[in-house]
């Protein structure tokens, strides 16, 4: 990790508790309306007594069986890590992410927890730890203290979309992401986008996220129809099953920049997209690609190809959001608004500290490690021990 300490940071134990967090209101995507997030909190304890927390938040987030699959091998992973120095443990997690030995979200949660514990061990913020160059004993630059985030419009009709657009515009957001891919015929999507653009005015950035709902023909129709409304980018306009030739064809048929989210599930898939020259933006979810440091590697490699990256949540609690804020703060390659303003969707954020959005920014916690503390009482209220 590039930072030395006189006392070795040895992993003493890894433990976990699963939760079921209701959403405050239905969250509608092209895949339907979702009402609950299942996940787990990881506890990493070091031999010196420092304790870190992380979060396992797999996708799809509303299915208990998905969390079960992610956590099935947690005991095996813990057995391979306990007794190791944290730095060795982190290298092991990287190897596991590259080989897909464990579920990516499990690796992500343990990665977060170990980095949180290590940051506390060194009395450094997680951003400071992540920003350190491999052969340096200090960070290369001062990290920003806040991260620009986008608002989300996830309504299934024009009236509600315009109402939400008005609310986010008056709240001071500088970037809005619309969930699309829901309307039929697809020409109705263009009407919806026009109405939202009219509501928010010309100065706010507007993104579209189709969650892979369109065919090549429909994506071409909608994006060319929306081009006059100054779209920052269109996220996952084609399904994951679309190959590089289709992705390249769409890029040639529209001037709307293209971003790929669900297509990027690990380092190798990111490299395929970059080598294929089919992306203007990559949307990176640490829970999907295997952790904060794997996300960092993808973002840094994308920058060498001239491709921007956006960090976004998987609808996690405050633990996952705080960790991704720290990562965004650590990386000078992050220039665009990140998709991290999702905590209001959940009934509880499971942390004591508040992470509010103010004028389109979230402040990055500045204390050591993750910078937030687990609300154990809240976790107990939402804990699940077996399938509901």
The CATH number for 355's domain is 3.20.20.120
Q: Are residues 157 and 201 in the same domain?
A: yes
Task: Give DSSP secondary structure letters for 69-127.
Answer: HHHTTHHHHHHHHTTSBHHHHHHHHHHHHHHT-S-HHHHHHHHHHHHHHHHHHHT-BHH
**Would residue 138 count as lying in a domain?**
no
Residue whose C-alpha is closest to residue 336's, from 303, 371, 366, 314: 303
**Would residue 68 count as lying in a domain?**
yes
**Would residue 139 count as lying in a domain?**
no
pLDDT the model gives residue 159: 94
Angle between helices 292-304 and 104-122 (to 10 degrees): 100
**Would residue 357 count as lying in a domain?**
yes
**Would residue 186 count as lying in a domain?**
yes
- The larger pLDDT score, comparing residue 138 to residue 326, is at 326
Structure tokens at 44: 């990493």
Residue 6 predicted with pLDDT over 80: no
Q: pLDDT tier at 29 (50, 70, 90 boundaries)?
A: low
**How far apart, in whole angstroms, are the C-alpha atoms of residue 308 and residue 336?**
8
Helix (H, G, I), strand (E, B) or coil at 24: strand
pLDDT the model gives residue 4: 45
How many helices (H) does the chain have, and how many strands (E)? 14, 13
Q: Are residues 121 and 213 in the same domain?
A: no
User: Where in the sequence is the domain holding 118, given as residue range(s)?
Assistant: 11-131
**Would residue 20 count as lying in a domain?**
yes
Average of per-residue pLDDT across 151-176: 93
Structure tokens at 160: 């509600």
Residue 137 predicted with pLDDT over 70: no
Task: Give DSSP secondary structure letters for 223-276.
Answer: HHHHGGG-EEEEE--S-TT--HHHHHHHHHH-SS-EEESTT--SHHHHHHHHHH
Catalytic residues: 179, 285
**How far apart, in whole angstroms, are the C-alpha atoms of residue 289 and residue 267?**
7
Half-sphere exposure of residue 271: CA atoms within 13 angstroms, side-chain side: 6
Among candidate residues 97, 131, 165, the one where a domain is terminated: 131
Average of per-residue pLDDT across 148-162: 93
Q: pLDDT tier at 26 (50, 70, 90 boundaries)?
A: low
* Burial class of residue 353 in the structure, from the number of CB atoms within 10 Å of its CB (0-12 exposed, 13-18 middle, 19+ buried): middle
Average of per-residue pLDDT across 278-284: 99
Q: Are residues 123 and 262 in the same domain?
A: no
Q: pLDDT tier at 93 (50, 70, 90 boundaries)?
A: very high
**How far from the centroid of its chain's Cα atoms is residue 308's Cα?**
15
Q: Are residues 43 and 121 in the same domain?
A: yes
Q: Are residues 117 and 156 in the same domain?
A: no
In eight-state DSSP terms, residue 345 is: G
Q: Among all chains, which residue has been given the structure tokens 């921007």?
A: 308
Q: Are residues 49 and 96 in the same domain?
A: yes
Q: What percent of the chain has pLDDT over 90?
A: 87
Q: Are residues 245 and 123 in the same domain?
A: no
Count of structural domains, the chain: 2
Q: Are residues 153 and 123 in the same domain?
A: no
Query: How distant, in Å, are the alpha carbons of 71, 121, 243 from that of 51?
Result: 20, 9, 44
Q: Among all chains, which residue has been given the structure tokens 């640490």?
A: 286
Q: Are residues 186 and 84 in the same domain?
A: no
* Burial class of residue 297 in the structure, from the number of CB atoms within 10 Å of its CB (0-12 exposed, 13-18 middle, 19+ buried): middle
pTM of the complete model: 0.93
Average of per-residue pLDDT across 33-48: 93
**Would residue 220 count as lying in a domain?**
yes
**Would residue 211 count as lying in a domain?**
yes
**How far apart, in whole angstroms, are the C-alpha atoms of residue 130 and residue 300?**
12
Q: Are residues 152 and 51 in the same domain?
A: no
The CATH number of residue 121's host domain is 3.30.390.10
Q: Are residues 125 and 218 in the same domain?
A: no
Q: Are residues 168 and 127 in the same domain?
A: no
């Amino acid at each position: 990790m590039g930072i030395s300490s006189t006392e070795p940071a040895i992993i003493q134990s890894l433990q976990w508790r699963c939760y079921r967090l209701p959403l405050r209101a239905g969250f509608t995507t092209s895949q339907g309306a979702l009402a609950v997030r299942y996940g787990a909190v990881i506890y990493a304890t070091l031999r010196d007594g420092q304790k870190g927390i992380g979060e396992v938040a797999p996708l799809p987030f509303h299915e208990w069986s998905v969390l079960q699959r992610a956590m099935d091998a947690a005991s095996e992973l813990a057995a391979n890590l306990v007794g190791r120095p944290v730095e060795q443990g982190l290298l092991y997690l990287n190897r596991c992410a590259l080989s897909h030995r464990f579920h990516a979200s499990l690796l992500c949660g343990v990665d977060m927890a170990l980095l949180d514990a290590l940051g506390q061990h060194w009395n450094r913020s997680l951003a400071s730890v992540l920003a350190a160059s491999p052969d340096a004993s200090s960070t290369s630059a001062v990290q920003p203290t806040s991260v620009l985030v986008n608002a989300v419009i996830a309504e299934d009709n024009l009236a509600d979309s315009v109402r939400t657009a008005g609310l986010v515009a008056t709240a001071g957001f500088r970037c809005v992401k619309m969930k699309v891919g829901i309307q039929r015929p697809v020409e109705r999507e263009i009407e919806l986008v026009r109405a939202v653009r009219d509501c928010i005015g010309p100065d706010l950035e507007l993104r579209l996220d189709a969650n892979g709902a369109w065919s090549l023909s429909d994506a071409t129709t909608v994006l060319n129809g929306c081009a006059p409304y100054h779209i920052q980018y269109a996220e996952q306009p084609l399904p994951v099953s679309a190959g590089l030739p289709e992705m390249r064809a769409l890029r040639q048929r529209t001037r709307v920049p293209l971003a790929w989210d669900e297509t990027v599930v690990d380092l190798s898939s990111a490299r395929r997209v970059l080598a294929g020259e089919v992306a203007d933006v990559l949307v990176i979810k640490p829970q999907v690609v295997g952790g904060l440091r794997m996300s960092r590697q993808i973002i840094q490699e994308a920058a060498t190809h001239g491709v921007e990256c956006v960090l976004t949540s998987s609808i996690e609690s405050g633990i996952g959001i705080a960790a991704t804020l720290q990562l965004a703060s650590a990386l000078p390659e992050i220039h665009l608004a990140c998709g991290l303003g999702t905590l209001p969707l959940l009934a509880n954020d499971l942390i004591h500290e508040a992470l509010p959005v103010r004028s389109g920014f979230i402040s990055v916690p500045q204390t050591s490690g993750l910078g937030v503390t687990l609300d154990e009482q809240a976790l107990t209220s939402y804990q699940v021990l077996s399938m509901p």
